[in-house]
Amino acid sequence: MLQGDIPPYGMAFMNRTRRDFVRTLFAATACAGLSGPLLTRGLFAAGHSAGTLNFLIVGDWGRKGQKDQVEVAAQMGRAATRIGASFIISVGDNFYDDGVTSAEDPQFKLSYEDIYTDPSLQVPWWAILGNHDYRGNCQAQIDYAKKSKRWNMPARYFGRDEKIPGGSMVDLVHIDTSPFVSKYAGDAKMGGEIKSQNTSAQLAWIDERLSRSTAPWKIVIGHHPIYSGGEHGDTPELIEQLLPILRKNNVQAYFNGHDHDLQHLKAGDLNMFCSGAGSTVRATGVIKETQYAKSQPGFVAVALGGDVMEVRMIDNLGQVLHAASVPRVAV
């Protein structure tokens, strides 16, 4: 058997529960090496698991169907089908280069509705704003939820709970990071929108939401990275203002975009995943927090169980580039 192959499915293997089936496949990918199409097929062959909450995360994608965006969308459709994705998270920069002008803007069709067409992607999309979205009409993206059957952006920042099969819960806290970046206040196209936002109020809300949460899992989603080896690098304002709140409240993971690459970083017990490669990519690098980094179009797939979150970074060719396991409780 070649390195990276998944063992044949014997009768004993098929008699396992669906939950054990997916868990075994995830474990096999972590141990067998992360290249080749056989691995990708094996990883997702089990379909929706009875024991995990499965979803995709993509960012920095809205480019009217350019080649990389279309390829990533196609692989997202295949992955969502195979894992039974319950929803999709967009980590911002939904529409380039200057956001949208209204809820009737053609970009919604050209960059979103016409691209993410696979039946498996017709699930709820939970979206946040990126800095390029701030260059347009932010309210229009909130308003579009009234027109779309799947687009969800109830506010510039919001929280929601999801049930994990088996009875556990996850608190997903979607935040609005652009107003924290001080240089944006001087930008001619976005300065007015940036200055209209109260970052102190948002920080207080984040802390209060996380502090009162009784969910065993706490995941925060923002556009800008806290730490990054990519083109934009670290976001000092988030290191100073957001990171202490995440650590105080024992947040297990932070997902972001902004840098056009795929990265996994770790600072203490906090795992950080950049999924900003939904279309055009840029060079990335390595810093002391880096666990993995690659400049390749792609997205992230997540299988969240009661005790472990499995994260897979998948490229525009359908290959699993990186696998990570995040425990609910740090060991």
What's the rounded mean pLDDT across residues 112-122?
98
CB atoms within 10 A of CB 256: 31
Q: What does the pLDDT average to over 60-75?
A: 97
**Residue 1 burial (CB < 10 Å; 0-12/13-18/19+)?**
exposed
Cα distance between residue 54 and residue 302, in whole Å: 6
> pLDDT, tens digit, for every residue of 246-296?
999 999 999 999 999 999 999 999 999 999 999 999 999 999 999 999 999
pLDDT at 271: 98
Closest CA to 228 of 187, 268, 279, 262: 262
CA distances from 317 to 8, 133, 134, 283, 298 (A): 24, 28, 31, 19, 8
pLDDT digits (tens, 9 = 90+) for 224-250: 999 999 999 999 999 999 999 999 999
**Across residues 128-149, what is the average pLDDT?**
97
Residue 4 in this model has a pLDDT that exceeds 90:
no
E strand or H helix at 70, and its extent?
helix 67-83
232 annotated active-site: yes
Percent of the chain past pLDDT 90, that is, above it, reads 84
Poorest-pLDDT segment among 12-26, 85-99, 186-200, 253-267: 12-26
On average, the pLDDT of the chain sits at 88
- Residue 64 clears pLDDT 60, i.e. is over it: yes
pLDDT at 28 over 60: no
> How many whole angstroms separate alpha carbon 297 and alpha carbon 72?
7
Measured between alpha carbons, how far is 27 from 216 in angstroms, rounded to an integer? 23
Instruction: Name the catalytic one among 132, 174, 223, 232.
Output: 232
What is the set of domains in the chain, with CATH numbers?
53-327 (3.60.21.10)
Its pTM stands at 0.87
Q: What is the arithmetic mean of pLDDT over 109-128?
A: 98
Q: Counting beta carbons within 10 angstroms of the beta carbon of residue 308, is it exposed (0 to 12), middle (13 to 18) or buried (19 or more)?
A: middle
Look at residue 49 in the predicted model and tell me its pLDDT.
55
Q: How many whole angstroms separate alpha carbon 249 and alpha carbon 7?
A: 41
Residue 30 pLDDT more than 80?
no
